[in-house]
A = this chain, B = another copy of it.
Amino acid sequence: MTELYDASELIGFAVALLRAADMEPKQAEVVAPLLVEADLMGHTTHGLQLLGGYLGALEEGGMRGQGEPEVVSDRGAVVVWDGHYLSGVWLTARAIDLAVERSGQYGSCTLSLRRSHHIACLAAFLERATARGRMIILASSDPANSGVAPFGGRRQLYTPNPIAIGIPTEDEPVLIDISASITTLGLCTRLNAEGRRLEHPWLLDAEGRPSDDPAVMFAEPAGSIQPTGGLDHGHKGYGLALMIEALTQGLSGFGRADGVSEWGAAVYVQVLDPEAFAGQAPFMQQTTWLAQACRANPPALGIAAVRLPGQRALERKRQALAAGVELYPGILESLSERADRAAISLPRPISPK
């Protein structure tokens, strides 16, 4: 029996927990809906699953719940912030809002952000820009963490390095959320805890042999996640990863070279205003045509229909907003002790399925 929850009740619950951990209201009110947004879209490893860790980081001081980012550089079309480990979800949302505004003036605005805390689900941010007719590119890395080896190597060096792209069309936006490695640290952690295997041998063990066992990631010495393209053409994921490292840590001027140990993120945001290029209408004509042509492409053997990136997530979101959100097992349980302590009542399921 699957229990369903009302999205706004989940948001209220998350706001209350964040405020109980001393996050200021203006931050909590941005962070909570963005975490629930990930659950609405079905990205369950990057939604409320993360809240327990964030609350722990707020309590231990690893994440700051109060304050403003420091402006390191501002040339109008180009901005650098030092986030001083404020919530990465909040900082990224603010960065996107600024880049949307500035892109109207300069045509494009590029922001690089250092010492952000973790930014959760990249796909959840994209509609902030696409709903305003803008195209957005968002990428992040964590200089204190790794998980992926350079192609041909076998020692973890950098993070999976996600990159997300939002493209407006006259219909739904195209919402791309991929990474430079085949799978994510979040999925490895979850499957390892559940004693399960990955779908395919997407990892390498410590010697560089393919493996589908997430336990290799937690062994000593540790294995690594294969770059996008795998053994066959992993130089492509390797190249993407290096690009993202440079955009996030290089441009923001803080990263692995500094021997970082705090859980956090370096973030790159670029927002492009099609109106400043060849015009909004010609842009939408191209993207709408392409989106329709993708969906109309005849499916390969064994495939029901060709989907656009983000299409299933947007369908899930519509359904979850109408009928309720299904949470991944264990998420509310992981928060119940903290809720009890703060006298916050757990969200109640709206209906048994």
Selecting from A3-11, A86-94, A189-197, A248-256, the interface stretch reads: A248-256
Which listed residue, B77, B246, B287, B299, touches A246 by the CB 8 Å rule? Answer: B287
Interface residue from B152, B157, B278, B283 paired with A299 (Cβ < 8 Å) = B152
Question: Is there contact, CB below 8 Å, between B80 and A278?
Answer: yes
A250 touches B298 (CB 8 A): no
Using Cβ atoms and an 8 Å threshold, which residues of chain B touch A36? none
Pick out which of these stretches binds chain B: A38-46, A228-236, A317-325, A329-337.
A228-236
The distance in angstroms between the C-alpha atoms of A256 and B293, with both chains bound, is: 10
Report whether B253 and A157 are in contact in the complex, using a CB–CB cutoff of 8 Å.
Answer: no
In the complex, the answer to whether B277 meets A154 with C-beta atoms within 8 Å is no
Set of chain B residues within 8 Å of A76, measured between Cβ atoms: 77, 106-107
Interface of A is mostly: mixed
Q: Which of A19-27, A55-63, A303-311, A339-347 contacts B (4 or more CB under 8 A)?
A: A303-311
Instruction: Tell me how far the C-beta of A281 lies from the nearest C-beta in chain B, rounded to whole angstroms.
Output: 8
Residues in chain B near residue A80, CB distance under 8 A: 277-278
Q: A257-B286, A289-B257 are in contact. Are A278 and B112 (CB under 8 A)?
A: yes
Instruction: Chain B residues near A75: list those with CB within 8 A.
Output: 106-107, 276
In the complex, whether A182 has a CB less than 8 A from a CB of chain B is yes
Taking the complex as formed, is A110 at the interface, i.e. its CB lies under 8 A from any CB of chain B? yes
Asked whether A256 and B289 contact (CB < 8 A) given A108-B108, A176-B243, the answer is yes
Q: What is the CA–CA distance of A243 and B157 in the complex, to the nearest angstrom?
A: 27
Residues of B near A328 (CB, < 8 A) are none
Copies of this chain assembled into the complex:
2
- Render A267-290 as a binary contact track against B, CB cut-off 8 A, 1 for contact: 000001110111100110111111
* A155 lies within 8 A of B297 (CB): yes
B107 touches A110 (CB 8 A): yes
A300:B152 contact, CB within 8 angstroms: yes
State whether A307 touches B152 (Cβ < 8 A): yes
Query: Does A73 contact B309, Cβ atoms closer than 8 Å?
Result: no
Task: Flag A200-215 by CB within 8 Å of B: 1 or 0 each.
Answer: 1000100111000000
Residue of B nearest to A238 (CB): B309
User: How many chain A residues touch B (Cβ–Cβ < 8 Å)?
Assistant: 91
Task: Indicate whether A314 reaches chain B with its CB closer than 8 angstroms.
Answer: no
Q: In the bound complex, how far is the Cα of B283 from the Cα of A257, in angstroms?
A: 10
- Interface, chain A (partner B; CB < 8 A): 72-73, 75-78, 80, 106-108, 110, 112, 114, 135, 137, 149-155, 157-158, 165, 167, 174, 176-179, 182, 200, 204, 207-209, 228-230, 232-233, 235-240, 242-243, 245-247, 249-257, 272-274, 276-279, 282-283, 285-290, 293-294, 297-303, 305-309
- 27 interchain pairs (CB within 8 A)? A75-B276, A76-B77, A78-B108, A108-B108, A108-B110, A135-B250, A149-B300, A150-B294, A152-B303, A152-B307, A154-B298, A165-B239, A208-B299, A208-B300, A229-B229, A230-B232, A242-B294, A250-B274, A250-B286, A251-B272, A251-B274, A252-B277, A254-B282, A254-B286, A255-B286, A256-B286, A257-B290
Nearest 10 pairs of A and B residues by beta carbon: A208-B300, A253-B278, A78-B107, A153-B297, A253-B282, A257-B289, A176-B239, A77-B77, A251-B277, A75-B107
